[in-house]
């Protein structure tokens, strides 16, 4: 029985409890508290880790799989096993944050008491939390400084110690804690501060990382070096105190050198365009944004670092700079055999404009679309010797049009019409083959069916639709691959943080055109480079084929060209401050910006650098056997010796067409003087004069919408 009020006392003495009662009460409360705590530990489930705790940054790499392009996700973190963290680094962290980690059961009464005493007496502020408590707070709880949250933290820390080993807890802590510089986890911190993996850290560097944990912002080495050094010494002295380090060893350790802090946005320049393209394709293939942003993936892209640098340098070196406000330049290159994107130029800086001109930008294709008419005709049984009417002006099915400068060629072969981009001949060809069949050939090559401007009228072959550079590079890659089509991709391989390969590009493509048809297409489009509207491309010094494109009033200019190894498209367009398309005239100091000017110059600069270390390959000559072709002289001053599988046979030089009769008084002018003169006279494309945009005319019985551009 409890003797209270005390029966053996009188007056106020009855109300004063005995020491036995006080002791019993305290012991009872302690037992009750301990029981409730034990019950809480037993009953309270360990929640799922929060998003920050499980999120890992996704690394995006160049095609070599070793060089990093950038990272996706706000959390910069990469988990590593504890065995990858040097023991000295582990001990440095313990010396900084929890020297009795391997001795306590989740919390340290001594540490809590010391923290309470220091805080109460005005000493250095201390939290008293163990590493287990810190991990619980970061992984499972909020950062609120409330009694309830601290109670939950204590209970979960003890609970966790019963479920996981000390090494497991330490590993999770090291992979979760924030180190500053946007780095979560010791691996990301090692890269951020020292530019190397944690497994390569020495004891001095490990002590420095351990030192910043307490307050990363207050120990940033570039701002507070002296403060950090003081904390660094505290860590090393603690290691000596715990006998993890001898004093002699301690005396030999010097303060480390740090990597400069990365400043600016990691999406600057071309990086943002590449990362967004990667994300878009990942989403299209079924990956969730959550897994992409925080799944700890390693994405190896198809982008080759050398080719990517070549793309950026080509636009800088050969692109217009004068009167270039509002200019949009897009460049993209794909490998014909695999359709892997090797390089892209989406714009000057992703931070200033997020529109990727290589994969999202559009402009009317102009005469580049003649290549689709060529493929459709050859696939339909026509030959390069087929004679067409190149007279100007000409009326075809009620549609009256002209060649550029009203140049009249008279009877002209399909080969010559391709070389000189003769509009009247190509519209006649499209009329005979059929607009629908011409459109179908373009779609088989790679032009998306939803490309704006595709209509079943005669303007299609003159390029009234508005494709993207990726569409054109991929379509012409079908020609380079001798009729094999595949979807373009920027993904080479995706690996999970477990090492499992989750995706690997293995698309082999589908045949859409016969090889002999493509050999003739390639032969004809080579003549555009050797003696047509894109002779600047011949300066590269290796066989190339392609087609220029310039639209009405110079609203856009293109060159899409390829070698057997690489297909690339360059697009130029211009907008005013309100985003409305305007003429390219005057850009770069050139009155008429055509496909044969800046686009071809940029393309040549890019391809020369991108293929500098690649062997020269040749297109298969029409009618030849790929495996047994003999060496043939070519227009590039070279001669090839045929070798199995690795060398293609050179095509013969296109000869002058006897059917082509050109009035020299109406021959197109030479290239603009603002650009270097090519080795031989270059002709501009032949463009018809057309009514203003949107004009609809009645020609005979057929109502024809005139193209705004050609």
Among 56, 79, 97, 408, the one annotated catalytic: 97
Pairing of strands 327-334, 567-574: antiparallel
Residues with Cβ within 8 Å of residue 670, at least 6 apart in sequence:
677, 681, 682
Q: Return the SS3 of 521.
A: helix
Find tokens 């993904």 and name the residue: 491
- End-to-end Cα distance, the chain: 107
Residues with Cβ within 8 Å of residue 419, at least 6 apart in sequence:
524, 527, 528, 531, 532, 654, 657
Query: In the structure encoding, which two tokens stand for residue 463, read together?
Result: 């390029």
Element at 416 (helix H, strand E): helix 414-419
- Helices assigned H by DSSP within 164-217: 166-174, 186-194, 203-212
Three-class DSSP labels, 68-127 = EEEEECCCEECCCCHHHCCHHHHHHHHHHHCCCCCCCCCCCHHHHHHHHHHHHCCCCCCC
Give the Cα separation of 363 and 709 in Å (integer).
10
Decide if 89 contacts 97 (C-beta within 8 A).
no
- b/e code 476-514 from CB counts within 10 Å (16+ = b): bbbbbbbbbbbebbbbbbbbeeeeeeebebeeebeebbe
Among 190, 367, 413, 597, the one annotated catalytic: 367
Active site residue 97: yes
Residues with Cβ within 8 Å of residue 666, at least 6 apart in sequence:
405, 406, 407, 408
Give the Cα separation of 137 and 513 in Å (integer).
62
Number of residues written out for the chain: 710
Within 268-326, strands assigned E span 298-301
Q: Return the SS3 of 548.
A: strand
Element at 432 (helix H, strand E): helix 423-433
DSSP 8-state secondary structure symbol assigned to residue 552: G
Q: Return the SS3 of 667.
A: coil
Residues with Cβ within 8 Å of residue 202, at least 6 apart in sequence:
86, 88, 256
Give the Cα separation of 472 and 278 in Å (integer).
20
Give the Cα separation of 674 and 586 in Å (integer).
11
240: exposed, middle or buried (Cβ count in 10 Å: 0-12, 13-18, 19+): middle
Decide if 566 contacts 617 (C-beta within 8 A).
no
Provide the annotated active-site residues: 97, 367
């Amino acid at each position: 029985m409890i003797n209270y009020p005390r029966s053996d006392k009188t007056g106020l003495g009855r109300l004063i409890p005995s020491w036995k009662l006080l002791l019993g009460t305290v012991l009872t409360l302690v037992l009750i508290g301990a029981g409730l705590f034990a019950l809480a530990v037993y009953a309270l489930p360990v929640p799922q880790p929060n998003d920050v705790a499980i999120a890992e940054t996704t690394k995006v790499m160049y095609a070599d799989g070793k060089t990093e392009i950038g990272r996706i996700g706000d959390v910069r973190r990469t988990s590593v096993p504890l065995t990858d963290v040097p023991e000295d680094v582990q001990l440095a962290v313990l010396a900084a944050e929890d020297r009795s980690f391997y001795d306590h059961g989740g919390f340290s009464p001594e540490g809590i008491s010391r923290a309470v005493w220091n805080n109460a007496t005005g000493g250095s502020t201390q939290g008293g939390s163990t590493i287990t408590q810190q991990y619980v707070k970061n992984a499972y709880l909020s950062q609120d400084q409330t009694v309830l949250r601290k109670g939950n933290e204590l209970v979960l820390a003890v609970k966790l110690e019963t479920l996981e080993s000390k090494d497991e807890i330490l590993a999770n802590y090291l992979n979760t804690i924030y180190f500053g510089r946007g780095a979560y986890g010791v691996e990301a911190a090692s890269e951020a501060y020292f530019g190397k993996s944690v497994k390569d850290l020495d004891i001095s560097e490990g002590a420095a990382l351990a030192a910043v944990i307490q307050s990363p912002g207050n120990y940033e080495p570039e701002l507070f070096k002296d403060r950090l050094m003081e904390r660094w010494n505290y860590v090393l002295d603690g290691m000596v105190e715990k006998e993890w380090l001898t004093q002699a060893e301690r005396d030999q350790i010097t303060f480390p050198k740090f990597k400069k802090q990365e400043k600016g946005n990691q999406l600057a320049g071309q990086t943002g365009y590449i990362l967004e393209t990667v994300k878009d394709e990942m989403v299209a293939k079924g990956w969730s944004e959550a897994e992409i942003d925080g799944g700890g993936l390693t994405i190896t892209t198809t982008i080759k670092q050398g080719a990517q640098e070549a793309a950026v340098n080509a636009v800088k070196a050969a692109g217009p700079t004068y009167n270039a406000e509002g200019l949009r330049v897009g460049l993209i290159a794909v490998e014909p055999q695999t359709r892997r994107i090797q390089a892209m130029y989406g714009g000057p800086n992703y931070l200033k404009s997020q529109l990727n001109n290589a994969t999202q930008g559009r402009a009317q294709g102009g005469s580049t679309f003649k290549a689709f008419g060529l493929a459709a005709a050859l696939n339909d049984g026509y030959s390069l010797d087929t004679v067409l009417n190149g007279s100007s002006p000409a009326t075809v099915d009620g549609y009256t049009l002209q060649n550029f400068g009203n140049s009249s060629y008279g009877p002209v072969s399909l080969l010559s019409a391709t070389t000189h981009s003769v509009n009247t001949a190509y519209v006649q060809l499209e009329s005979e083959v059929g607009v629908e069949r011409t459109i179908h050939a373009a779609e088989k090559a790679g032009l998306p069916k939803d490309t704006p401007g595709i209509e079943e009228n005669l303007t299609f072959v003159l390029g009234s639709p508005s494709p993207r550079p990726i569409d054109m590079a991929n379509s012409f890659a079908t020609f380079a691959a001798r009729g094999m089509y595949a979807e373009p991709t920027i993904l080479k391989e995706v690996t999970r943080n477990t090492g499992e390969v989750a995706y690997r590009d293995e698309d082999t493509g589908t045949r859409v055109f016969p090889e002999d048809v493509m050999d003739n297409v390639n032969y004809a489009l080579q003549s555009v480079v050797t003696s047509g509207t894109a002779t600047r491309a011949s300066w590269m010094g290796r066989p190339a084929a392609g087609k220029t494109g310039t639209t009405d009033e110079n609203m856009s200019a293109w060159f899409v060209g390829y070698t057997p190894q690489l297909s690339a498209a360059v697009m130029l367009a211009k907008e005013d401050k309100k985003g409305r398309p305007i003429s390219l005239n005057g850009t770069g100091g050139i009155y008429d910006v055509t496909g044969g000017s800046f686009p071809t110059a940029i393309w040549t600069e890019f391809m020369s650098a991108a293929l500098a270390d690649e062997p020269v390959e040749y297109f298969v000559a029409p009618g030849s056997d790929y495996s047994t072709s003999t060496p043939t002289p070519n227009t590039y001053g070279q001669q090839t010796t045929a070798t199995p599988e690795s060398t293609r046979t050179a095509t013969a030089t296109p000869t002058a067409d006897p059917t082509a009769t050109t009035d020299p008084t109406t021959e197109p002018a030479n290239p603009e003087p603002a650009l270097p003169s090519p080795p031989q006279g270059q002709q501009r494309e032949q463009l018809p004069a057309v009514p203003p945009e949107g004009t609809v005319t009645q020609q005979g019985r057929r109502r024809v919408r005139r193209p705004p551009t050609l």
